[in-house]
Amino acid sequence: MLKTDICGVEFRNPLMLAAGIMGSNASSMNWILKSGAGGVVSKSFSLNPHPGYVNPTTVAVEGGIINAIGLSNPGVDNFKEELKKIEKDNNVVIASIYGATPDEFSRLVEEVQEFVDMIELNISCPHAMDGYGASIGQDCNLSHTIVSAAKDAAEVPIIAKLTPNVTDITEIAKTCEDAGADALSLINTLGPGMKINIDVARPVLSNKFGGMSGRAIKPIAISNVYSVYEAVDIPLIGVGGIYSWEDVVEFIYAGARAVQIGTAIMDEGVEVFAQINDGLEKFMSEKGFSSIDEMVGLAHREL
């Protein structure tokens, strides 16, 4: 009942681990899969190791958290070793990659695709260094160039992860589709945001600014999924503020075929996956749905 298909890749349920939380090593990703997720997305990594920003990198705010990790990672060679150790039986593994040039993205795709089922392009991080993340995803020409290069090198489906910090997300979505993206994830964190320590009159985060995630951004994520669903023909993956099965239903009705969960794990624990799956299955039975397919985009139907 809970199975869903994205670009020919079948997920046993529509829940995935979002990039950035518990996706740094195989042991934590295997834990997430055993806890009920149908797939995992790794933490974003690059060709070479990158230290990221110094602490503090995360701060709680009302309705969520603001983080500026700075895309810290041990580099592709180290990450490949972790990807090899993920238990793949009936599980979907997705690598999240980032770079600054088409060549970097192409090389990363070639390096990791044999170890994963799909690859997600991080062209949307709002606290990345200049030339990375949202600085790509806010520009149609750069987005097209990067997605096209990754797709040309790929033998697995390519997902482009979009930023909400743009004038018109449908324009970027259509650009990525035209460049060959097989699917889209939306949205990445909102921002940049800031929290100030009033005792010392300084921003809390070492980077000063960061991206906001959590419950407060869900209405924006839902709106973006709804708008993009009407603008493109490729599958969508919803991300942003998902804590309950009701949240998942909203995203599916808006047009998503699957969702990614991140911040909720920090608040609810890994048990959130099983809880959502149980609630979603009960809801579908009560409403007479036999598959996720029957629910996708229902909010767009004419009454």
The secondary structure of 131-183 as a DSSP string is: TSTHHHHT-HHHHHHHHHHHHHH-SS-EEEEEPS-SS-HHHHHHHHHHHT-SE
Residue 226 tokens read as: 């709804």
Instruction: DSSP letter for 45, please.
Output: B
Is the separation of the CB atoms in 42 and 19 below 8 Å? yes
C-alpha separations of 230 from 219, 254, 301 in Å: 17, 10, 11
Q: How many CB atoms lie within 10 A of CB 107?
A: 17
Which residues are the active-site residues? 125
In angstroms, the CA 275 to CA 238 distance is: 18
Summarize the chain as % helix, strand, coil (round to 5): 35, 20, 45
Helix (H) or strand (E) holding 150: helix 140-153
In angstroms, the CA 115 to CA 94 distance is: 9
Is the separation of the CB atoms in 175 and 166 below 8 Å? no
The phi-psi region of residue 216 (left if phi > 0; otherwise alpha if psi is between -120 and 50; otherwise beta) is alpha
In angstroms, the CA 205 to CA 220 distance is: 24
In angstroms, the CA 37 to CA 16 distance is: 5
Q: How many CB atoms lie within 10 A of CB 88?
A: 15
Residue 194 tokens read as: 């800031």
